[in-house]
Amino acid sequence: MERSDVLIAGAGPTGLVLALWLSKQGVKVRIIDKADEPGTTSRALAVQARTLELYRQVGLTEEILARGHNVAGINLWVQGKKATRVPLETLAEGLTPYGPFIYPQDQHERLLITRLEALGVRVERRTELKSFTDAGDHVMATLCRPDGNEACEAGYLAGCDGARSIVRQTLGTGFPGGTYQQVFYVADVDAAGPALDGELHVDLDEADFLAVFPLKGQGRARLIGTVRDERAAHAENLKFEDVRDRAIEHMKVQIRKVNWFSTYHVHHRVTAHFRKGRIFLLGDAAHIHSPAGGQGMNTGIGDAINLAWKLKAVLAGQASTALLDTYETERRAFAQKLVATTDKAFTLATAQGRAADFIRTRIVPLVVPTLFKFAAARHYMFSAVSQLVIAYHDSALSQGKAGDVSGGDRLPWAPSADNFATLRPIGWQVHVYGQSSRGLRDWCKRHGLPLHTFPWQKEYRGTGLARNAMYLLRPDTYVALAASQQDSEALRCYFADRGLSIKHFAQSASILDGKEENRG
């Protein structure tokens, strides 16, 4: 009987990222999918800045940037004319190296598969999870393969099997929420016209949403829209010809070729539990919501990266199973907030009535460009959409505050030093901005905990980092402990209080040569 450390059901972006992060850490994984082959079409387009930051840990970021498309602006249309343009070129300035970016999900999946295969892990196609049992110290599962059923054993089971998740249904955790009345459609087209200039274009005229998203390549775009009239009652019969007129008339899109067209319903739901014993739910199996803001795929990827290092730590004997409880507390809280936020945004964007039309067509084109003139407003909106604001302040893994940075926060980016470059290894590390003490350097060396010291620069204060403070970073690059004093005893207590074993660091992390590592 084959045994793996982690059995992953579902080979979409969430399952593939989980498999990749676990494999990079030496965890034996098995990933299955009932589909014959990877998807050749996709709904998700946006790769958020936070995802690109985290992808540096596995060397994916540069390749994605080379293959995808930067979005330089958003254009708002009213009554067949461009009402205003909101520039996005400098939106991320000082916050992150990465701005608004598009890379279609089907291409994204193929890249992840290639990287996974380079590590010796292949997706087992036409293989479906039929049943499973949590046996207490392992999981037993039955798989349906082309050549018959197979019984297998795993340390843990990760349900990345989508909105109709068999894992979630078997666990019985429910999926409370609702379904939007609108039917969404998506069409990949070759086209021409003023809305095919490589930027994002949104029509504000009607309650039914319509947007033109740029794809890499001249004249390539994706149209995403909604319908809610009598056509929505028979979505399965909808054809592109039934919805194309609005794009042609309102946004001057000249359709040359339709490469792909599909319709789908959108739901807003969050399951009651993301973990039961040795079973986990991730991505669409745990939460689904409106596509407003391009959050879905990125949130599933975030689930995977959050869980991967914790599974590795427990499997390697570096942590007790209590560490796994933090996956649900951290990610479910974010999912609930996300569903509420995207629901409000989508409801506002598609509201009907004269008042709603007036706000959309008269107020929004005036207010949005004005707001974007203020750096604070730009930074707030971009940080929310790009998932830079995700924080785990209420987590058992978060402690302390130094400067404006608290335990649970994303580490602020310091552009001149690119402090994110040190975050490539998947492991714990300590940062000091200023001068590190001999005592801290000695303690970190003794316990195999990487210490990175960045000579103080004035720009650090603007990011919220405190001079000579100590920041302990988790393997997923979030701040675990923020302390204004460089206290090695605080580090020792942090790990001891959470059942994390320091003695394993020397085996799983890079050990510096005893000298302070200076960055600048």
Same domain, 64 and 113: yes
DSSP string, 482-506: EESS--HHHHHHHHHHTTB-GGGHH
Same domain, 122 and 48: yes
Each residue's pLDDT, cut to its tens digit, for the chain (520 residues) gives: 889 999 999 999 999 999 999 999 999 999 999 999 998 776 789 999 999 999 999 999 999 999 999 999 999 999 899 999 999 998 999 999 999 999 999 999 999 999 999 999 999 999 999 999 999 999 999 999 999 999 999 999 999 999 999 999 999 999 999 988 888 899 999 999 999 999 999 999 876 788 999 998 889 999 998 887 777 777 788 899 988 888 888 899 999 999 999 988 889 999 999 999 999 999 999 999 888 778 999 999 999 999 999 999 999 999 999 999 999 999 999 999 999 888 888 877 778 888 888 988 899 999 999 999 898 999 999 999 999 999 999 999 999 999 999 999 999 999 999 999 999 999 999 999 999 999 999 999 999 999 999 999 999 999 999 999 999 999 999 999 999 999 999 999 999 999 998 765 544 443 333 334 555 4
Residue 351 lies in a domain: no
Would you mind telling me the total number of residues written for the chain in this entry?
520
Residue 91 lies in a domain: yes
Same domain, 15 and 159: yes
CA distances from 209 to 155, 260, 268, 346, 431 (A): 45, 19, 17, 9, 45
**Closest C-alpha to 1, from 153, 181, 111, 196:** 153
Three-state SS at 328:
helix
DSSP string, 42-62: -S--B--HHHHHHHGGGT-HH
Residue 348 lies in a domain: no
* pLDDT for res 504: 56
Same domain, 423 and 507: yes
Q: Are 491 and 426 in contact (CB under 8 A)?
A: no
H or E segment and range at residue 276: strand 275-276
Return the CATH number at 30. Answer: 3.50.50.60
Residue 350 lies in a domain: no
Cβ count near 179 (within 10 Å): 11
Same domain, 125 and 230: no
Counting the structural domains of the chain, the total is 3
In tens, the pLDDT along 250-260 reads 899 999 999 99
**Closest C-alpha to 193, from 242, 248, 260, 259:** 248
Backbone Cα Rg of the chain: 24
Return the CATH number at 471. Answer: 3.40.30
The residue behind tokens 């909105």 is 163
Q: Domain of 252? A: 70-97+177-269+356-389
User: Residue type for 377, please?
Assistant: A
Same domain, 374 and 245: yes
Same domain, 244 and 291: no
Q: Are 312 and 25 in contact (CB under 8 A)?
A: yes
Same domain, 255 and 277: no
DSSP string, 413-459: P-TTTTGGGGG-SSS-EEEEES---HHHHHHHHHTT--EEEE---HH
* pLDDT for res 497: 96
Rounded Cα distance, 482 and 477, in Å: 13
- pTM, two decimals, is 0.94
Residue 249 lies in a domain: yes
* pLDDT for res 515: 34
Residue 394 lies in a domain: no
CA distances from 28 to 21, 120, 121 (A): 11, 10, 9
In this structure, what token pair is assigned to residue 39? 């998807």
Same domain, 116 and 132: yes
Same domain, 226 and 338: no
Same domain, 263 and 276: no
> Exposed, middle or buried, 79 (CB in 10 Å: 0-12/13-18/19+)?
exposed
Residue 110 lies in a domain: yes
- Pick the last residue of a domain from 389, 412, 445: 389
Rounded Cα distance, 198 and 220, in Å: 9
CA distances from 56 to 59, 178, 216, 409, 420 (A): 5, 36, 22, 18, 9
Same domain, 497 and 484: yes
In this structure, what token pair is assigned to residue 386? 């790009």
* pLDDT for res 22: 98
Residue 482 lies in a domain: yes
Three-state SS at 337:
helix
* pLDDT for res 272: 98
Return the CATH number at 241. Answer: 3.30.9.10
